[in-house]
Structure 1
């Protein structure tokens, strides 16, 4: 099982958007996927309550129970576990970081958001886990995105090559518990999510689809 934690010490940066979309991407790729929501606001869990499809499994719980949730997901045969965390919750975020194979830090390309990155990077350092910034809620066709990328990299952050832009498909999709990939499969938002998922899979050594996983193992 591979575990991806979505962590940011700042709210309003699109953590839950990234979390639910990666979880659905895992399901669409054929992986048994679980999504754990540790945020008391329960954005991901409420999204799951509205979702007609039974997968990914969405579990809302307290951070103190994260070790048991991780073990339960592994015992139930999960291939991929995505953890959504609360902002300004050092203990919960650190627990998620320690459980993760990969930490993604959503960040808007805005000054206050960029300044808040350091606290989350420190958590990743303590947990000794790889962490990458994902520029999110980014304006389309704006020079500020590349400026933010250069600034983050100059400050020592690793920045994912994919960007999650401000697109209405993300907002419309989550209304009834879907992802942009299900709402508008051929749209730009779906393309962004697919690219981010494929890249994240590469970081944790997971093929981008179950079929690719079988080929890697020499199975038919």
Structure 2
């Protein structure tokens, strides 16, 4: 079972949107996937309710129960677990990061976000787990992406080559429990998530299976 934690100490980084898209992509590839909402706000749990019976499976858990929940997921045969965490929840973030095989760190290419990224990179170093920064909600065309990449690497972070752009599909699809590939099949947002999933699986030394058609 592979476990990915989406962690950022900065609010508004887009953790939940990335987490649910990553989990849904895994499910679309035929991987039994569990999305665990560790944020007390419960945004992912609400999205899961709107989604109904469509995969991935979604559950809301208290961080204190995480180890038990992951053990149960292992027994139930899940191949991928994605953990979504709350911002500024240091203890919960540490639990999630420690349980993960890979930590995905979303960061908007904006000054305040870049200034705050060091705190999340410190979490990765503290738990001795690999962390990778993904530039998220970036402008479609702007030099700020290159500047942000340089700023993160200057702080010792590793940045994914793939960039997730600010696209309307990511916003509108959530209203009725869909993901970008279902809202706009073949669109740019869907292609970015496909590339993100492939990159994550490569870093986890796992094979990305053939994607099933969009629902």
**TM above 0.5, one fold?**
yes
Q: What are the Cα deviations for residues 59-79 of structure 1, in whole angstroms up to 9, with x where unaligned?
A: 101100000111111111000
Which residue is equivalent to 1:197?
197
2:64 aligned with 1:51: no
Aligned to 2:113: 113
The Cα offsets for residues 120-164 of structure 1, whole Å up to 9 and x where unpaired, read as 111111110000111001111111011100111122100011111
Which residue in 2 is equivalent to 1:155? 155
Structure 2, unmatched stretches of 5+, are none
Cα-to-partner distance string for 1:34-72 (whole Å, 9 max, x where unaligned): 000000111111110100343111010110000011111
Runs of 4+ in 1 over 3 A off after TM superposition: none
1:119-134 to 2 correspondences below 5 Å: 119-134=119-134
Structural RMSD (CA):
1.1
- SS of match in other structure, 1:116: helix
TM-score under structure 2 length normalisation: 0.96
Q: Tell me, which stretches of 5 or more residues in structure 1 are unaligned?
A: 212-220
Say whether 1:87 aligns with 2:77.
no
Number of corresponding residues: 211
**Which residue in 1 is equivalent to 2:13?**
13
Which of 69-78 and 51-60 deviates more? Answer: 51-60
State the partner residue of 1:173: 173
Cα contact 1:170–1:180 (8 A) shared by 2: yes
Deviation readout 1:12-51 (Å, 9 max, x if unpaired):
1100010000000000111000000000111111110100
The SS at the match of 1:105 is strand
Q: Contact between 2:149 and 2:159, CA under 8 Å: does it hold in 1?
A: yes
Following the alignment from structure 2 to structure 1, what is the Cα–Cα distance between the partners of residues 90 and 176?
A: 31
Alignment check: 8 A CA contact 1:31 1:210 kept: no
Contact 1:4 1:100 (8 Å CA) reproduced? yes
Shift of 1:210: 6.5
TM-score, normalised relative to structure 1: 0.94
